[in-house]
Amino acid sequence: MQSHSMHDDMERVLFTHEQVQQRVKELGAEIARDYGDKDPHLITILKGSIPFLADLMRAMDRPLSLDVMAVASYAGHQSSGEVRVTKDLDESIEGRHVLVVEDIIDTGLTLAYVMRILANRAPASVRIATFLDKPSRRATPIEADYVGFTIPNAFAVGYGLDWNQRYRNLPYIGALKREIYDPGAG
Ligand code: PRP
């Protein structure tokens, strides 16, 4: 049976697969160059950043290492930005050149909290690479060192980004139709 197409739920395509791949290649080359002889230690926050991480690390033609962490918002406290670590890093980051890899910075609250945790662990440096940046939604001053694309306040899905755990596997970034995420509107 043919299932409902995910593509039909898109209002428009924000960035095609080709644009995504091209931009990630550029970012990887730029980051690899910037780190010189310092091997970056990539830390990603699950789960939305998985496709970006996988492509970005392969666009960096240099030695690097990788670790992952997972965080969750406290139920009912999403806007507070207070998160709990549900899967911590495997390795110490003391003295290492950390590059945090994120799919999107929206309010910035998640990353601000994670940055505080990381700063307490004495890394040599911490930089941030985010594929998407939505500065219009920022609730705390945080900026990435590397940004794939800056986007307007649309509900972006695909390339790791979800709505209710769906659409992460779209190879492009789409803006979800409002009737999908807000059925009561209009
Ligand atoms: C998303 C995204 C960031 C965060 C950004 O994660 O991956 O971590 O939200 O939002 P903020 O800037 O407003 O804090 P989400 O909690 O949806 O988990 P996921 O990566 O598993 O989809």
Assigned CATH topology for domain 6-181: Rossmann fold (3.40.50)
Residue of 44, 71, 73, 106 best suited for mutating to test ligand 1, as the one with most atoms within 8 Å of CB: 106
Q: Is the CB of 109 under 6 A from ligand 1?
A: yes
Single-letter amino acid, residue 160: G
pLDDT tens digits in sequence order for the chain, 186 residues long: 566 799 999 999 999 999 999 999 999 999 999 999 999 999 999 999 999 999 999 999 999 999 999 998 776 555 666 788 999 999 999 999 999 999 999 999 999 999 999 999 999 999 999 999 999 999 999 999 999 999 999 999 999 999 999 999 999 999 999 999 998 876
What pLDDT, on a 0 to 100 scale, did the predictor assign at position 167? 98
Does residue 126 sit in helix, strand or coil?
strand
35-70 b/e with 16+ CB inside 10 Å = b? beeeebbbbbbeebbbbbbebbbebbeeebeebbbe
CA 155–ligand 1 middle distance (angstroms): 13
Q: Give the nearest ligand 1 atom to 48 CA.
A: 20
The one-character DSSP state at 23 is: H
Q: Is the CB of 133 under 6 A from ligand 1?
A: no
Q: Is the CB of 160 under 6 A from ligand 1?
A: no
What pLDDT, on a 0 to 100 scale, did the predictor assign at position 77? 53
What pLDDT, on a 0 to 100 scale, did the predictor assign at position 4? 79
Q: Is the CB of 105 under 6 A from ligand 1?
A: yes
**Residues identified as active-site:** 106
What pLDDT, on a 0 to 100 scale, did the predictor assign at position 184? 84
Phi, psi (rounded to 5 degrees) for 113: -70, -45
What pLDDT, on a 0 to 100 scale, did the predictor assign at position 138? 93
Model-level pTM?
Answer: 0.94
Q: Which residues contact 174 (CB under 8 A, 6 or more apart)?
A: 7, 9, 10, 11, 12, 13, 14, 156, 157, 158, 167
